[in-house]
Amino acid sequence: MQDFRSRFIKSTVVLGVAFLAIIFRLWYLQIVEGDELAEFSLSNHIRSERIPAYRGRILDRHGREFVVNRPSFDVYLLPRGADDYTKLNKALFEILQVSPERFKNNLVPTEPILIARDIDRDQLAYIETRRDSLPGVIVEINNLRRYIYGSLGASFLGYLGKISKAELEVAPLLGNDSLVGKRGVEKGWQDFLQGEDGYRQKATDAFGREVSLNLFQKNLTSKVGVPGHDVVLSIDIDIQRAVEEALGDKSGAVVVVDVKSGELLALASKPSFSPLDFVKGVNVELWKVLINDKSFPLLNRSTQGLYAPGSVLKMVTAVAALSEGTVEQDTLVYCPGRYKFGRRTFHCWKREGHGEINLKLAIIGSCNVYFYKLAEKLDIDRLSRYMKAFGFGSPTGIGIEESRGIVPSRRWKQTEYKKSWYRGETLISAIGQGYVSVTPLQVAMMTVALANGGTLYKPIIVRKVVSHDGKNVAESIPEVRGVLPPMHREALVAVRNAMIGAVNDPKGTGRAAKLSNYTVAGKTGTAQVVSLDKEEEGYKEYKGHAWFTSYAPAENPEVSVTVLIEHGGKGGSVAAPIARKVIEAYRSLEDKRDKDDRV
Amino acid sequence: MIGFDRRALSNFGWTLICMTLVLLSLALTNLYSASYQLGLLSFKKHLLWVSIGLVAMISVSFVSYKFIQQYSFHFYVVFVLLLVLVLFVGKEVASSKSWISLGSFGTVQPSEFVKIPIIFVMARLYSDDHWMESYGFVELLKPALVVLVPFILVLLQPDLGTALIILLICGSIILFMGVKKRALLFILVAVVGLSYPTWQFFLKSYQKERIEAFIDPFNDPLGSGYNAIQSQIAIGSGKLTGKGFKSGAQTQLRFLPARHTDFAFSVLAEEWGFLGAISLLLLYFLIILWILDTASRAKDRYSIVVSFGVAAMLFWHVIINVGMVLGILPIIGVPLLIFSYGGSSTLTAMIAMGVVLGIRRRRFHIPDEVVEIR
């Protein structure tokens, strides 16, 4: 029998050392790291649920709801809770009609990811009845936009979309699934509308399900969110509706402005999109369709669309020429239907000519030759100064997306094309052709300035911002961008008289806008897109854009209506009747409102 | 074959019995907390197994170890055949074919039980060559064969944890009984040399994942590293005194995996803290020390090897299980004997301790005056 004593001693030492090592590790985890790991344990099961703030409503000028919110049941997946989520939730993904592959790559175990927004009742019922077999699936209630009038006003209201990385950096308090304004008023007044999100802590198990055990409910905190502010538009829903009805299915834009304040009463652009398609955030396939649509439904034609102004610019040329003294109101010019300039011949739209006419008749009949003559004396740089004074070539400052347009000048052409100016180009610029490009809103604000005696307003689309408890947060006051000097006032009077004539004179090009008992002043325009000869070939895309810009009543202007119809042809026959309908609607609504006020 | 004499009661290992009873009550309390939310079925089942285990432990202690010594090879052959059988008719749980179904009674895991006959055979080999002082390479071939057959069979299931335990128990016995330096060196070189092909060709991908996750659990916190992280969070968050019975958030909210089996220790550490965990470790330490003490007092080579083997079995189970839940060893699915839920492992441990009890009782080298019934 050998002696095992020393081996037993060695074994006991090994036993002791091994246990000491274990105890050392235990001490390290529980005593040294204990507090930190206890924090881990808490963050494991305490989940902070974001309670999205109620987004502010969008109201019309009379306080009627335009855009509000509705509840939406959204489905989230907690990757940590769903062990084999592709297999386990296969049925779920089918029911929700989403592909699990989309979420495979961006999984953070503790961060629930949104897999479906605004599920319907059947989908909700499916999930609610299978809560126990769908670990890691969480349903939360959020808000989505509801458009009470459907697609009415979609082009300026805009839409919401999932917040981008860049936007998230600017607004770190928002959740990474937040919906924020991407266009229109929703984007321009995003900071007012958004509000502050609240949160509620809840105890959840490893599968993301809320547990009601009292033990784990202690010390849970929550914060009430602050609802966003309501935005009160200057838009009148009734007028907007009348405008969109008058526009029908034509593609174009209509701008209706309050002459005395620069407030927009209606702003339409067709074809447009349906905001319903954007409620759940922008869908990639639909986005591709919209972006590639040749009719550009996402373009807000009234503020972003750029067109040659055609004859509606003649008012600016006339004011410039009168103010600069290059023409008198009674200067006569003979129009034979064409104008020879150097080796080129420029045509009047009326081939047989207007005969001998003064400035007023030139505006009434929209004579080109008269204005070629003015332009020759005026020169492009003086003309372009007046165009800028009427707000062309710069943003109006409306607060939603807009284009600035082009006011050509010698310097502009030099920097843009590295070429010198041809004097012939001055002639076509004076009748709103060539390089000049403007938006319908700019034309509308020009007309407002003509109508109110020379004050160029900044257009207002939002009158005020009101907090959810009724306090005024911000208010728009009429903002003047520029005033014409007094010596130009006389020129304005002359041009206004000519505009009255253009609608009410039997020879006027805008006769189609004439109303009985309500004097409309206006001016037609037809912006050529190709040469006159080609236009006669009759292709639709060769047809000019039809313009009509107006104000009424002429004696004491209240409202201005500007209409543009893309490839509509003659402004007098296409755009003017639409303006008449809009002015009629405005008038009957005003009458009705006056009566209501009296009662 | 069943012997009894009046000295039996006075020499009976009451200390071990008491410690086992304390351990069993701790195990049942912990199991209750870990599993009551899902119904009391597991608890009741384990209570039944524990009762069977206690009866088996006491009964086995009365079996003459001369009888065991004599039939060591028979036991061994029976269990090795069961291991072969399980490969064909075994029930697959968690991708390992380790269980034999006993119908409504449940399942048994022969790979747990096989550890006992292996210890018996090792003891038999060493007592047959009782003149040997230390073993050279050639003499080691026999014990090596005894280990490798069940080791490979278990590895085929595949059950890496149990296979490793078998290897460790036998390795401990061989080392304890003495190995010539050159043979030891050779074995070390062989182990290192074989580890690469093993990694490359024999380990299943899930086993590799576990080892990789052990090296860096936060590399894949959702996948294979998840269990290790959650276990350490559970243990650490228990701090000094624990969160209280049935109050561990990690356990009760099911962040902790396999709460009643492999991670039972984590449950204890979370709910009873450092003090609770250290008490359990102390209990295991004392039990193993008591068994070693029994081995040191035994008068023949067979008893020494058997007792030492049982001590080694308990030791490795504790070190590997606790080591893995504490994050110092990879998670390879080794239960904490007696403390973890599981009939086969509990019964194995208690039968093994019953054998030790029998050895303790006869440590005075009593000549066989027992009545043998044949």
Residue of B nearest to A14 (CA): B315
Helix, coil or strand: residue A539:
coil
Task: Identify the band that residue B222 occupies on the pLDDT scale cut at 50, 70 and 90.
Answer: low
The DSSP H or E segment spanning A252 is strand A252-258
Asked if the Cβ–Cβ distance from B238 to A30 is below 8 Å, we say yes
Q: Is residue A542 over pLDDT 50?
A: yes
φ/ψ region of B159 (left if φ > 0, alpha if ψ in -120 to 50, else beta) reads beta
Mean pLDDT, residues A283-288 taken together: 81
Task: Identify the band that residue B371 occupies on the pLDDT scale cut at 50, 70 and 90.
Answer: very low
CB distance from B258 to chain A under 8 Å?
Answer: no
Task: Identify the band that residue B217 occupies on the pLDDT scale cut at 50, 70 and 90.
Answer: low
Task: Identify the band that residue B220 occupies on the pLDDT scale cut at 50, 70 and 90.
Answer: low
- Which phi and psi (to 5°) does residue A461 adopt? -110, -25
What pLDDT does B370 receive? 44
Asked if the Cβ–Cβ distance from B236 to A37 is below 8 Å, we say yes
Q: Is residue B311 over pLDDT 60?
A: yes
Average pLDDT, chain A: 87
Beta strand A58-59 pairing with A230-233: parallel
What pLDDT does A104 receive? 62
Residue of B nearest to A38 (CA): B237
CB distance from B22 to chain A under 8 Å?
Answer: no
B96 closest CA partner among B191, B162, B177: B162
CB atoms within 10 A of CB B178: 15
User: Which chain B residues touch A35 with a CB distance below 8 Å?
Assistant: 239
CB distance from B133 to chain A under 8 Å?
Answer: yes
Asked if the Cβ–Cβ distance from B240 to A109 is below 8 Å, we say no
Asked if the Cβ–Cβ distance from B278 to A23 is below 8 Å, we say yes
Residue of A nearest to B323 (CA): A22
CB atoms within 10 A of CB B147: 19
Tokens describing residue A219 = 């010390």
Residue of A nearest to B245 (CA): A215
Map tokens 């009391």 to a residue. B40
Mean pLDDT, residues B236-258 taken together: 85
Mean pLDDT, residues A505-515 taken together: 91
Query: Which one has a higher pLDDT value, B303 or B331?
Result: B303
Tokens describing residue A254 = 């209509």
User: Which chain A residues touch B178 with a CB distance below 8 Å?
Assistant: 7
Cβ atoms of residues A499 and A450 within 8 Å = yes
Q: Is residue A39 over pLDDT 90?
A: no
A311 in active site: yes
Task: Identify the band that residue B211 occupies on the pLDDT scale cut at 50, 70 and 90.
Answer: low
pLDDT in tens, B167-186: 999 999 988 988 888 888 88
Helix, coil or strand: residue B210:
helix
Average pLDDT, chain B: 84
What pLDDT does A463 receive? 94
Mean pLDDT, residues A417-432 taken together: 91
d(CA A154, CA B288): 80
Task: Identify the band that residue A127 occupies on the pLDDT scale cut at 50, 70 and 90.
Answer: confident
pLDDT in tens, A546-588: 999 999 899 999 999 999 999 988 888 899 999 999 999 999 9
Complex-level ipTM: 0.89
Residue of B nearest to A5 (CA): B296
Q: Is residue A248 over pLDDT 70?
A: yes
What pLDDT does A370 receive? 93
pLDDT in tens, A328-374: 888 899 999 889 888 888 888 888 889 999 999 999 999 999 999 99
What pLDDT does B374 receive? 40
Residues 6+ apart with CB under 8 A from B171: none
Distance from CA of A33 to the nearest CA of B (A): 6
pTM for the whole thing?
Answer: 0.70
What pLDDT does A294 receive? 81
pLDDT in tens, A459-500: 999 999 999 888 999 898 888 888 888 778 889 999 999 999
What pLDDT does B267 receive? 93
What pLDDT does B368 receive? 46
CB distance from B289 to chain A under 8 Å?
Answer: yes
What value does the CA radius of gyration of chain A take, rounded to a whole number of Å? Answer: 34
Query: Which one has a higher pLDDT value, A135 or B71?
Result: B71
What pLDDT does B373 receive? 43
Asked if the Cβ–Cβ distance from B235 to A26 is below 8 Å, we say yes
Bridge partners of A181, per DSSP, are A160
Residues of A at the B interface (Cβ-Cβ below 8 Å)? 1-2, 4-5, 7-8, 11-12, 15-16, 18-19, 21-23, 25-27, 29-31, 33-38, 40-42, 44-45, 79-80, 107, 109, 203-207, 211, 213, 215-216
Mean pLDDT, residues B336-356 taken together: 92
User: Which chain B residues touch A12 with a CB distance below 8 Å?
Assistant: 289, 292
Query: Which one has a higher pLDDT value, B52 or A106?
Result: B52
CB distance from B322 to chain A under 8 Å?
Answer: yes
Lowest mean pLDDT of B73-87, B249-263, B296-310, B314-328, name the range.
Answer: B249-263
pLDDT in tens, A314-328: 999 999 999 998 888
